[in-house]
Amino acid sequence: MKRLVSGQWSVVSCASRFCTFALIFLLSFSTIQAQIAVKGETVWTMAGEQPITNGVVLISNGKIEAVGAAAQIKIPNNYRVINAKVVTPGLIDARTVVGLAGYMNQPHDQMALDASSPMQPELRAIDSYNPQEKLVEWVREFGVTTIHTGHQPGALVSGQTMIAKTSGKTADAAAIMPTAMIAVTIGDSANAGGGRAPGTRAKQAAMLRAELIKASEAVRKQNEDKKPEQKPPVELGADMMQRVIRREIPLLVTAHRAQDIMTALRIAKEFNIKIVLDGAAEAFMVIDEIKASGFPVIIHPTMYRAGGEMESLSMTTAAKLKAAGITVALQSGYEGYVPKTRVVLFEAGTAAANGLSMRDALATITIDAAKILGLDARIGSLVRGKDADLAMYDGDPFEYTTHCTGTIINGQVVSETIR
């Protein structure tokens, strides 16, 4: 292009600067948090026993600004209004492998279990988590906004778990708790086979105790040696087990048989550590013991197939545990076949048909799940100041013919696909 007089910008230079300024403006505008008013004929806040009829949830800067009856809340003119039949908090899947196990069921997208060793507490879920996995998008479109995902059952200590929102382009952007728990399995599926250890339940317990004893001794020495002359070298696995002894993180213990549940409770008491029971197909056989322990249960998917260690499972177990005063959450769990995951919405709906009330069933995938994960101050209910995570439906969420019509995470509409 023809240049202007000497000392002035060229037409090319001026156009380039204009494009740069425009790009900066657009990028800045795109980071502005949406302001949204979600109106629902029924709004389940999970902060009370009953839902709000004709309610409104105001969202600003990624957080919930206000919740209440439409007659009491004035919607500002600049807010986008979204209408729904039913509004709930964003759903929480309390135990899954989504993001580590992919929908193609091929070696390249199956990262939830490393079979090279029975004891690997150092394996970090965040290093294998793929936020672009199609299964993450799939569950998000059903209203699932938070997942507790990570290494699956199948090894004595298979690795760590993490908690993530089902949005975000990178694992770091998605993660809200990069290290949540350490996954442990007690029972038939934890046996290595082929003459390798562990080969029995007693060997499993002995190996787990041995690691906890070493961790206990290391913590005791650290507490006694106030000014160590030399800092010991970091051992990733040992460091994680020491965090368990210090009660910084719990063990997530998958145990289905009543005898395995009791082993988990016994070891937790011996070492004064925190655990969360996972699966627990025969939990209804030892309700009093679980209740006395004070530990919560992330129960198996309601519609799981009864076989092997889970041959005695019941669709009414969640209701029985809830009636006993035990904190219970539901999960999608791990599936060995395509598409690799269940949807907790359907599992909770089936639990609601098998003894749980509507509210209690919804609690297993919202506020009670958040409590078990230690995040109830941030997610799990529609309360002013909490993350603006919402799910919207065109009818009763637990009815088969109902669709999820939209999902909001951190105040952003992330799905308007009708599922």
CA distance 172 to 233: 27
Say whether both 217 and 317 belong to one domain. Answer: yes
Of 124, 126, 101, nearest to 176 (Cα)? 126
Say whether both 53 and 171 belong to one domain. Answer: no
Say whether both 230 and 324 belong to one domain. Answer: yes
Say whether both 277 and 417 belong to one domain. Answer: no
* pLDDT tens readout for residues 265-279: 999 999 999 999 999
Q: Is 16 part of any domain?
A: no
Return the pLDDT at 38: 98
CA dihedral 375, 378, 379, 382 (to 10 degrees): 140
Residue carrying structure tokens 């988990």: 264
CATH number (domain holding residue 65)? 2.30.40.10
> What is the average pLDDT across 2-7?
35
Q: Is 20 part of any domain?
A: no
Return the pLDDT at 88: 98
Return the pLDDT at 227: 72
CA distance 368 to 371: 5
CA angle in degrees (0–180, nearest 5) for 241-328-336 = 70
CA distance 60 to 112: 36
Say whether both 127 and 252 belong to one domain. Answer: yes
Return the pLDDT at 91: 99
> What is the average pLDDT across 26-35?
53
Alpha-carbon dihedral sign for residues 92, 419, 348, 338:
negative
Which DSSP state fits 165?
Answer: E
* pLDDT tens readout for residues 267-315: 999 999 999 999 999 999 999 999 999 999 999 999 999 999 999 999 9
Say whether both 355 and 229 belong to one domain. Answer: yes
Q: How confident is the model at residue 33 (pLDDT cuts 50, 70, 90)?
A: low
Residue 212 has pLDDT above 60, yes or no: yes
Q: Is 192 part of any domain?
A: yes
Q: Give, for 261, the enclosing helix (H) or strand (E).
A: helix 258-271
Return the pLDDT at 57: 98
> How many domains does the chain divide into?
2
Q: Is 3 part of any domain?
A: no
Which amino acid makes up residue 95?
R
Q: Is 24 part of any domain?
A: no
* Stronger pLDDT, 235 or 11, i.e. the higher one: 235
Return the pLDDT at 6: 36
Q: Prior bond to 339 cis, omega within 30? A: yes
Return the pLDDT at 347: 98
Beta-bridged to residue 146, according to DSSP, are: 92, 165
Is 343 within 8 Å of 142 (Cβ atoms)? Answer: yes
Q: Are strands 297-299 and 328-329 parallel, antiparallel or unpaired?
A: parallel
CA distance 99 to 271: 32
Is 332 within 8 Å of 136 (Cβ atoms)? Answer: no
Say whether both 324 and 417 belong to one domain. Answer: no
Q: Is 14 part of any domain?
A: no
The token pair at 187 is 């029972």
Share of the chain above pLDDT 70, in %: 91
CA angle in degrees (0–180, nearest 5) for 243-249-251 = 105
Lowest mean pLDDT among 104-108, 151-155, 367-371: 104-108
The token pair at 302 is 């309601």
Is 190 within 8 Å of 118 (Cβ atoms)? Answer: yes
CA distance 76 to 96: 39
Residue 409 has pLDDT above 70, yes or no: yes
CA distance 44 to 55: 9
Lowest mean pLDDT among 197-201, 212-216, 225-229, 414-418: 225-229
Q: Is 244 part of any domain?
A: yes
Say whether both 64 and 152 belong to one domain. Answer: no
Domain holding 218, by residue range, is: 91-376
Return the pLDDT at 24: 41
Mean pLDDT of the chain: 92
Say whether both 73 and 218 belong to one domain. Answer: no
Return the pLDDT at 365: 99
Q: Is 261 exposed, middle or buried (0-12, 13-18, 19+ CB in 10 A)?
A: buried
Say whether both 405 and 340 belong to one domain. Answer: no
Residue 165 has pLDDT above 90, yes or no: yes
Of 157, 224, 215, nearest to 186 (Cα)? 157
Return the pLDDT at 229: 67
The token pair at 337 is 């076949």
Say whether both 190 and 219 belong to one domain. Answer: yes
Residue where a domain terminates, one of 359, 376, 393: 376
CA distance 304 to 132: 27
Residue 52 has pLDDT above 70, yes or no: yes
Q: Is 282 part of any domain?
A: yes
Residue 322 has pLDDT above 50, yes or no: yes
Lowest mean pLDDT among 24-33, 145-154, 389-398: 24-33
CA distance 105 to 215: 36
CATH number (domain holding residue 162)? 3.20.20.140
Lowest mean pLDDT among 67-76, 337-346, 365-374, 403-412: 337-346
Of 95, 151, 157, nearest to 126 (Cα)? 151
Say whether both 227 and 269 belong to one domain. Answer: yes
Is 271 within 8 Å of 250 (Cβ atoms)? Answer: no
Residue 25 has pLDDT above 50, yes or no: no
Of 352, 344, 378, nearest to 96 (Cα)? 344
